[in-house]
């Protein structure tokens, strides 16, 4: 099920402890999953996690797509991999600062 998500929305996994907050999202319907199960506004029941999507999430890290058009903050870590429309999100890398010398 795809929903239009707004910035500031918190989503919880149905198969692990992962919780994320949307920081930047496009104004279009997105299917956000964790561990292969749809994420929702409440914790839901413990479902079965897809073992191939058990990469884990780290609290405090920002997760982005390849083009950095969407960004999510992990507010509670867990065992599942977060995906948007079937594509796994990656941890946002720090930008290199210019040298000061």
Per-residue pLDDT, 94: 85
User: Average pLDDT in the 26-51 region?
Assistant: 84
Kindly state the average pLDDT of the residues 56-78.
94
Give pLDDT, residue 1. Answer: 54
- Averaged pLDDT, 33-58: 83
pLDDT at 42: 77
Look at 2-6, 33-37, 81-85 and tell me which has the smallest mean pLDDT.
2-6
Q: Break the chain into its structural domains and give their ranges.
A: 3-89
Annotate 23-75 with DSSP letters as a single string: EE--SSEE-EEETTEE-BSS-----PPPGGG---B-TT-EEE-TT---EEEEE
């Amino acid at each position: 099920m795809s929903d239009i998500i707004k910035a500031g929305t918190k989503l919880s996994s149905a198969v692990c402890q992962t919780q994320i907050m949307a920081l930047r999202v496009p104004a279009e319907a997105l299917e956000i999953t964790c561990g292969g199960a749809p994420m929702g506004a409440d914790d839901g029941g413990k479902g079965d996690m897809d073992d191939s999507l058990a990469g884990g999430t780290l609290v405090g890290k920002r997760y982005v797509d390849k083009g950095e058009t969407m960004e999510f903050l992990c507010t509670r870590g867990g065992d599942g991999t977060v995906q948007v429309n079937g594509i796994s999100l990656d941890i946002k890398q720090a930008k290199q600062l210019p040298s000061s010398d």
